[in-house]
Amino acid sequence: MVAKPEHAAKPAPVLRCGRFTFDLARPLVMGILNVTPDSFSDGGRYLDRERALAHARQMRDDGADLIDIGGESSRPGALPVAEEDELARVMPLVAALATEGIAIAVDTRKPAVMREAVAAGAAMINDIAALTAPGAIEACAGVDVGVCLMHMQREPQTMQAAPSYDDVVVEVRDFLAARAAACVDAGIARERIALDPGFGFGKTLAHNLRLLRSLGTLAAMGYPVVAGLSRKGSLGEITGRSVDERMPASLAAALCAVLHGAAIVRVHDVRATVDALKVWAAVEGGA
HSE toward the beta carbon, residue 226, CA cutoff 13 A: 30
Residue with smaller CB distance to ligand 9MG, 116 or 127: 127
User: Any contact of residue 126 with ligand 9MG (CB under 6 A)?
Assistant: yes
Rg value, the chain, Cα: 18
Which span (109-117, 136-144, 183-191, 196-204) binds ligand 9MG, by CB under 6 A?
196-204
**CB 235, CB 205: distance < 8 Å:** no
Catalytic hit among 154, 232, 246, 271: 232
User: Any contact of residue 128 with ligand 9MG (CB under 6 A)?
Assistant: yes
Residue 44 zone, left/alpha/beta (φ > 0; ψ -120 to 50; rest): left
Q: Tell me how many residues contact ligand 9MG (CB under 6 A).
A: 13
Which span (59-67, 151-159, 182-190, 193-201) binds ligand 9MG, by CB under 6 A?
193-201
Is there a catalytic annotation at residue 115? no
- Is the four-CA dihedral 172, 175, 181, 186 of positive or negative sign? negative
- Widest pairwise Cα distance in the chain: 65
CA distances from 68 to 108, 111, 180, 258 (A): 10, 17, 20, 19
Is there a catalytic annotation at residue 266? yes
Minimum distance from CB of 127 to ligand 9MG (Å)? 8
What single DSSP character describes residue 43? T
Residue with smaller CB distance to ligand 9MG, 173 or 266: 266
Q: Which of residues 41-70 bind ligand 9MG (CB under 6 A)?
A: 70
User: Any contact of residue 226 with ligand 9MG (CB under 6 A)?
Assistant: yes
User: Any contact of residue 160 with ligand 9MG (CB under 6 A)?
Assistant: no
Q: Which of residues 92-111 bind ligand 9MG (CB under 6 A)?
A: 107
Minimum distance from CB of 30 to ligand 9MG (Å)? 8
Sheet holding 264-267: strands in order across? 193-196, 146-150, 124-127, 104-107, 66-70, 28-34, 264-267, 226-227
Q: Which residues bind ligand 9MG (CB under 6 A)?
A: 70, 74, 107, 126, 128, 148, 150, 196, 198-199, 226, 228, 266
